[in-house]
Amino acid sequence: MTLLKRALKTAVVRRALCGLGAGYIRLVHLTGRWQIVGADIPKQFWDADKPFILCFWHGRLMMMPYCWDFAHPIHMMVSYHRDGQFIARTVKNFGIDTVVGSSSKGGARALRDMIKLLAKGICVGLTPDGPRGPRMRAGAGVVSLARLSGVPVVPAAYSISRGWNLNSWDRFLVGGLFGRGVIVWGEPVAVERDADSDAQEQARDLIETRLIAVSQQADSLCGRPPVMPADAPDGAP
């Protein structure tokens, strides 16, 4: 094992890296010129003290803490994977709590925990293509959460004129300093509690479509070429 890998396994180094990551996110926001499109959409929920499910692509995670009004608590779903724990420790710096689980491990428990939070009026957030993709393809988990909780899904995305997309499965967008940034909110998607399999698939497709739309709108407003979704999984339409 290399010295770097050993260092990354130590709690002190991990905490320091998460602190540096949070500091850089703050610096990108502080030096940028930011616009919010559709701000009235989450505001109507916040003003009425009604919970909703914040939904955004994994590749748009970096600046999403700044979409939120922290007068209202939120819990984000993160994976057990090392990357998920790095995200959890980083967003903790912004006052965001987390629920641990993913489609591959701990998903059922995380689903139950999020349903309980929503029942208490606490918002939750998740990335429906995480933690492993395919990119910009919504999984069924978000539909199950919306159906079982009776709470709508609200899509959102960020983009920025200065930054770069990593060569990762999600084309993770790293914001740069002194950029023109935007956060775009989309219209809510509700799923009826008695929705059958066809209705659930229609809801999943609508969530995916609206998430792609807000992401591409954000990129367009910032003059960035859009990131395209990965090919649909085998058997999907």
- What would the pLDDT profile of 65-77 be if each residue is shown by its tens digit? 999 999 999 999 9
Which pLDDT does position 124 carry in this prediction? 98
- What would the pLDDT profile of 73-132 be if each residue is shown by its tens digit? 999 998 877 777 788 889 999 999 999 876 666 678 899 999 999 999 999 999 999 888
- What would the pLDDT profile of 9-30 be if each residue is shown by its tens digit? 666 677 888 999 999 999 999 9
Res 237 pLDDT > 60 = no
Which pLDDT does position 63 carry in this prediction? 97
Which CATH number applies to 12-221?
Answer: 3.40.1130.10
pTM, two decimals, is 0.92
pLDDT grade for 7, boundaries at 50, 70 and 90: very low
C-alpha of 11 from chain center: 25
Query: Minimal CA–CA distance to 60: which of 145, 173, 178, 164?
Result: 173
Q: Residue 217: phi, psi to the nearest 5?
A: -65, -45
Res 148 pLDDT > 80 = yes
CB atoms within 10 A of CB 27: 13
Res 3 pLDDT > 60 = no
